Amino acid sequence: MTPAGSLLVADALHKSYGPTTALDGAEFSIHPGEVVAVMGPSGSGKSTLLHCLAGIVTPDSGSILYNGREMATMSDAERSQLRRSEFGFVFQFGQLVPELTCVENVALPLRLNGTSRKAAEKAALTWMERLEVDDLGKKRPGEVSGGQGQRVAVARALVTDPRVLFADEPTGALDSLNGERVMELLTDAARTTNAAVVLVTHEARVAAYSDREIVVRDGKSRDMERVV
């Protein structure tokens, strides 16, 4: 059963890569608008959990319900439609397209969904203003700083108004000051749109921006009481 009000719920997830067990009974749940930090040591299964929740990796067994629907029963086309329209992604290195300008990068998910160039770039600029990078529109990713690039990547992830934002070490390549600014803007923006945020991080300082923390160890997850 879906816990009341949960948007995304996973239970008893198992995933192995050959002899390596990446997930060993992991569970997860998140509400609309909630920011959940996924913490744990390197190799514990954090990214694998995020990729399963996002429909990028198929678990060997276990259940993932999005909006009450079992992801395993969706066709590949349905899952990729879900990723395009309901999910947003930010990774450690923003993975911006180097040949496109920043505004074209942010507009790209809308363009891929069939939005006209003019409307897509207008929406992109609104998001770039919120992330305080609207002055970088004409620059290419190679011409901006790491922190600016990550804010452009956050704007791109949010431009489609996703219900869930998946962020895997979004500040991992930034110094602490830039990292905190990215986290402030990311969580503010997500709260404005009531997007849920699944935030994978090693850093307690980054996890402090979440509403709740879970810890993954040896492919198993558990809730961690926030120690204030």
Residues found near ligand ATP in the complex (CB under 6 A): 17, 20, 22, 40, 42-48
The whole-angstrom separation of Cα 15 and Cα 51 is 11
* Phi, psi values for residue 64, rounded to 5°: -130, 115
> Binding segment for Mg ion among 22-30, 31-39, 40-48, 208-216 (CB under 5 A)?
40-48
Residue number, 40 or 179, with CB nearest to ligand ATP: 40
130 binds, among Mg ion, ligand ATP, none (CB under 5 to 8 A by kind): none
Note whether 44 binds Mg ion by CB under 5 A: no
DSSP state, 14?
A: E
Cβ of 145: how many Cβ atoms within 10 Å? 11
3 binds, among ligand ATP, Mg ion, none (CB under 5 to 8 A by kind): none
For the segment 143-172, give every residue that binds Mg ion (CB under 5 A): none
**Closest approach of ligand ATP to the CB of residue 194, in Å:** 27
**Closest approach of Mg ion to the CB of residue 12, in Å:** 21
**Closest approach of ligand ATP to the CB of residue 67, in Å:** 25
> Could you tell me how far CA 42 lies from the centroid of its own chain?
18
Name, in order, each residue with C-beta under 8 angstroms of 135's C-beta and a sequence gap of 6 or more: none
Residue number, 44 or 115, with CB nearest to Mg ion: 44
Selected binder of Mg ion within 47, 101, 105, 160 (CB under 5 A): 47
Note whether 48 binds Mg ion by CB under 5 A: no
Classified as helix, coil or strand, 218 is coil
Residue number, 50 or 133, with CB nearest to ligand ATP: 50
Q: What is the DSSP string of 99-147?
A: TS-HHHHHHHHHHHTT--HHHHHHHHHHHHHHTT-GGGTTS-GGGS-HH
The whole-angstrom separation of Cα 15 and Cα 1 is 22
**Closest approach of Mg ion to the CB of residue 59, in Å:** 16
Applying CB under 5 A, the residues found at the interface with Mg ion are 47
